[in-house]
Amino acid sequence: MYVFDSTSLVDLFQHFPLEFKALAPHAANGEIKVPEGVFRELMRKTDKISNSLEQWEKKHKIVVRLKNDPRFLLEFTRIEQTYGEKVSVGGRDYPGFWRSPAGRKAADGQVVAIGKVKKWVVVSDDKAVRFACLNENVQCIGWAEFARRLNKKELQGQTSMDI
C-alpha cells in the first residue's frame, strides 16, 4: 500500500505520462491511496492527473478521509504540530511542512499521518516529509523508487510498463 503526496504523482506523470494510466489496476487493488488534501490540491491543478484520480476515486475509493478515522485526526494534529514549522534530524533543523508554497494548507502532514497509522509506504521526495517519516519510523520512498518497484512487479506479470 502506497500513500502519495501531490508532487510525487505529478513527477510520476511528467516522466511516464502513458504509463500513468497503467496505474489503474493498482488503484483497483487498493495499492494506491491519496489523502483528501492531496486529492483536492490535484483537482485544482492538473487536468490529466485529476481526470485519472477522479475516475479512480469513483471506481475504487482511493481517497483517505481523515474524519473517517479518529486515529488519523489525532496523528495528523500531532504531526502537524511537531513538523509544521521545522523538522529536526541529527541535531539540525530543516524547514517544516508549512514552509512550502502551500503554507498551512499543505497536505504533507496528512500523508505522514496516514502512512504512520496504516503502516503504508509514503511516496514523496519532499525533504520535510522524508525527514518526518524518518523521525516517525514510517517507510518513505521517492517517486522513482516507486516506478522501479512497479516496473519490477509488472515484469513479473504479463505486461511491462518499460519504465
CA atoms of 89 and 158, how far apart (whole Å):
43
pLDDT of residue 98: 80
Q: Give this prediction's pTM.
A: 0.87
SS3 at position 34:
strand
Residue 3 confidence class, pLDDT cut points 50, 70, 90? very high
Dump pLDDT digits (tens) for 10-30.
998 888 776 677 788 888 898
Dump pLDDT digits (tens) for 123-134.
999 999 999 999
For the CA atoms of the chain, what is the radius of gyration? 15
CA atoms of 2 and 11, how far apart (whole Å):
15
DSSP run (H or E) holding 32: strand 32-35
Q: Tell me phi and psi for residue 34, to 5 degrees.
A: -135, 140
Q: Residue 58 has which C-alpha cell?
A: 469513483
CATH 2.130.10.30 fits 2-156, yes or no: no
**Chain centroid, CA 72 distance in Å:** 15
Cβ burial of 44 (10 Å; 0-12, 13-18, 19+) is exposed
Domain extent listing, the chain: 2-156
Dump pLDDT digits (tens) for 91-149.
999 999 887 665 566 789 999 999 999 999 999 999 999 999 999 999 999 999 998 88
CB of 9 closer than 8 Å to CB of 42: yes
Residue 63: which residues within 8 A CB-CB, separation 6 or more?
33, 34, 35, 36, 39, 57
Task: State the CB neighbour count (10 A cutoff) for residue 50.
Answer: 15
